[in-house]
């Protein structure tokens, strides 16, 4: 009897201890979940575990075509994916490699068409995405368009007129500009800085430029060249005696002697060197054409 009682008491104590330990553990876990700090730690642990299981996305390729509403391929359209850009070829095709952003924003533009924009998401195991973009024409209202014509003469090309014009050391007038200046030497030179005109023999126009002397800047008679040849008597006779204004095809004006190109021979003289005027005539053009 005593032995049986001792065994029963030991069994009861062991069962009671196991039940008490289970209850205590459950209470402790419940308290931990209710505490804010421990709950945040538990959530961080779950996020960290989930991130360790997530594999990084591999780079992928975006390719496709851009066409208009008539299903014609659009060449030279700009396709932008994130910070990467591609230009379509003659068949409207494009390709952008090594994209990693997900989702990726795609923007397609071309002059004369409304832009298109869309966001593309992909699955982790997809390494290439192909799309087809259709752009709609946009109505563009243009202002007034003025069309002008410039005649380029081979004779002036060969003598370097256009090259000197690009150098910009003097003022240059082609045939069209001469026709808008009033068709007189006085009206032509009246718009040139640092030059002036005076009446010479029989009222003909004499051109004056500026020269630096010991007395300062003073007016001086400009040298005159007809078709590249120096005309020594032009300063006395006047420009109209050298050539009629309507026979000109181009004029170069250099207000100061330091600006005159070295290809034009300067007359030997004492004192200050003045500017020069180069007159190019229709006869010069005709002679040059015959020599070709």
CATH number at residue 266: 2.170.130.10
According to the model, what pLDDT value does residue 2 have? 61
Instruction: Say yes or no: 124 and 228 in one domain.
Output: no
Q: DSSP per residue over 88-103, as a string?
A: --TTSEEEEEEE--SS
Do both 229 and 280 map to the same domain? yes
pLDDT of residue 267: 72
**pLDDT recorded at residue 210:** 80
Question: Is 99 a domain residue?
Answer: yes
Same domain? 159 vs 118: no
DSSP string, 176-241: HHHTTTTSSHHHHHTTSTT-EEEE-GGG-EEEEEEEEETTEEEEEEPEEEETTEE-TTHHHH-HHH
163 and 120 together in one domain: no
Q: Are 170 and 278 in the same domain?
A: yes
Residue 146 tokens, joined: 């003025």
Q: Which two tokens stand for residue 217?
A: 């800047």
Residue 79 CB neighbour total at 10 angstroms: 26
Helix (H, G, I), strand (E, B) or coil at 133: strand
Element (H, E) at 84: strand 84-87
Position 270 scores a pLDDT of 59
What pLDDT is attached to residue 73? 95
Same domain, 271 and 221: yes
Query: Is residue 149 included in any domain, yes or no?
Result: no
Dihedral sign for Cα atoms in the order 267, 272, 273, 277: negative
pTM exceeding 0.85: no
Would residue 225 count as lying in a domain?
yes
Residues 224 and 183 in one domain: yes
Per the structure block, which two tokens stand in for 78?
């700009």
Residues 169, 82, single domain; the answer is: no
Pairing of strands 116-120, 223-226: unpaired
Beta strands 171-174 and 196-199: pairing type? Answer: unpaired
Owning domain of residue 121:
60-135
Contact indicator for 259, 223 with CB cutoff of 8 Å? no
188 & 274 share domain: yes
Question: Which of 99, 90, 22, 96 is closest to 58 using CA atoms?
Answer: 99
Among 188, 164, 162, 160, which residue's Cα sits nearest to residue 245? 188
* SS3 label, residue 78: strand
Do residue 79 and residue 131 come from a single domain? yes
227 in the same domain as 159: yes
At 71, which CATH number?
Answer: 2.60.40.1120
pLDDT tens-digit series, residues 22-46: 766 665 565 555 545 444 444 454 4
For the chain, the domain total comes to 2
Question: pLDDT below 70 — which residues of the chain?
Answer: 1-12, 15-16, 19-20, 23-56, 140-150, 268-272, 290-292
What residues contact residue 188 under an 8 Å CB cut-off, 6+ apart?
A: 173, 178, 181, 182, 245, 251
206 burial level (CB within 10 Å; 0-12, 13-18, 19+): buried
């Amino acid at each position: 009897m005593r032995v049986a009682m001792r065994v029963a008491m030991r069994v009861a104590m062991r069962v009671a201890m196991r039940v008490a330990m289970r209850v205590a553990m459950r209470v402790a876990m419940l308290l931990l979940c209710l505490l804010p700090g421990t709950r945040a730690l538990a959530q961080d642990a779950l996020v960290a575990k989930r991130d360790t299981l997530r594999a990084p996305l591999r780079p992928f390729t975006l390719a496709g075509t851009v066409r208009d509403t008539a299903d014609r391929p659009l060449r030279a359209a700009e396709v932008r994916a994130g910070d990467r850009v591609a230009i379509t070829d003659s068949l409207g095709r494009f390709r952008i490699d090594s994209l990693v952003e997900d989702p990726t924003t795609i923007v397609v533009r071309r002059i004369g068409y409304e832009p298109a924009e869309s966001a593309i998401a992909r699955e982790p195991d997809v390494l290439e995405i192909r799309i087809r973009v259709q752009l709609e024409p946009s109505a563009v209202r243009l202002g007034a368009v003025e069309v002008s014509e410039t005649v380029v003469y081979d004779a002036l090309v060969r003598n370097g007129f256009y090259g000197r014009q690009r150098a910009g050391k003097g003022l240059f007038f082609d045939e069209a500009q001469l026709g808008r200046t009033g068709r007189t030497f006085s009206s032509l030179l009246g718009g040139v800085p640092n030059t002036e005109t005076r009446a010479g023999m029989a009222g003909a126009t004499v051109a004056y430029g500026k020269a630096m002397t010991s007395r300062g800047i003073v007016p001086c008679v400009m040298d005159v060249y007809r078709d590249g040849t120096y005309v020594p008597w032009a300063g006395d006779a006047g420009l109209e005696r050298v050539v009629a204004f309507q026979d000109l095809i181009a004029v170069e004006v250099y207000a100061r002697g330091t600006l005159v190109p070295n290809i034009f021979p300067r007359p030997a003289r004492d004192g200050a060197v003045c500017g020069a005027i180069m007159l190019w005539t229709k006869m010069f053009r005709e002679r040059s054409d015959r020599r070709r």
